[in-house]
Homo-oligomer: A and B are copies of this chain.
Amino acid sequence: MAGADGLKVGVFDSGFGGLTVLRELVELLPGVDSIYLGDTARLPYGSKSRETISRYAVSSARFLEEQGADLLVIACNTATAMALEDIQVSLPIPVIGVIEPGAAGVAAAGRAGHVLVLATAATVSSGAYTRALARMGLKAYEKACPLLVPLVEEGWVSHPVTDEVIRIYLEEALAAAPETDTLLLGCTHYPLIEVAIRRVLEGMGRPMEIVDSAKATALATAKLVTERFPNAIRMGEPRRSFFATDSVDKFRRLGGNFLGQPVDEVLLVDLGG
């Protein structure tokens, strides 16, 4: 925290999805300053290898720290699964990922025994959710859903094709893991189709608890802020900055759907590549 400035929370994602975490965080801590980076020139991370994702995520995290972030939220499941430790050892500030909070959110929901995690291919291949849930005594089945991010980005959040794709993925997953009693949304794009997922589950006669890792992560971040940085929130209007590594116009246009309010100004940053 430089001088009279308040606490500044850095939030990082490969694209826009992390704005769903920022949205929840702003609900909990309306006065907090924030700085967001979407690494849109190199997205999506979900289909790439651990080495590539780690290289991209560490350089993105360093940028936010250089811009004055006092605390960093990796608001991207893939980057958390593949690179959280690499980021933590690279930066001198606290770094929170989405996976531990997501798993803790399931445990806190209380009814869970068997958890179905919907996520990207890279997140699933890492097994990070299975390990985090096992530490809490919960069984997990992870299902890769590669089409859900493109469908959300196409804007088809309430659309028969999206419902049908969700139904196919859920049927495959529930056939493999029939004891499932709780669903964990393991990708920051998925809160935008939570209503559709709920509708499809009801149509299948399998309504169940849905836990959103974005919301759980915002809660964990707010808790860390009040514990580690008490009295750190400045008075007055919060300052929010947005950076992207590719088209700032597209970020402005799409970002508002994820943030739940207009994104006014986005600055272009070149991280190489």
Contacts and interface: CB of A to CB of B under 8 A. Distances in A.
Interface of A: 40-42, 47-49, 52, 56, 146-147, 150-151, 153-154, 160-161, 164-165, 168, 245-247, 250, 272-273
A193 B250 CA distance: 28
B246 A49 contact: yes
A160 B250 CA distance: 31
Contacts of A247: 48-49, 52
Contacts of A56: 273
Copies in the complex: 2
Q: Report whether over half of chain A's contact residues are helix, strand or loop; otherwise say mixed.
A: loop
A124 to B, nearest CB: 14
A153 B146 contact: yes
B150 A161 contact: no
A226 to B, nearest CB: 38
Given A41-B48, A48-B246, A49-B246, 7 more contacts: A40-B48, A41-B42, A42-B273, A147-B150, A160-B164, A161-B164, A161-B168
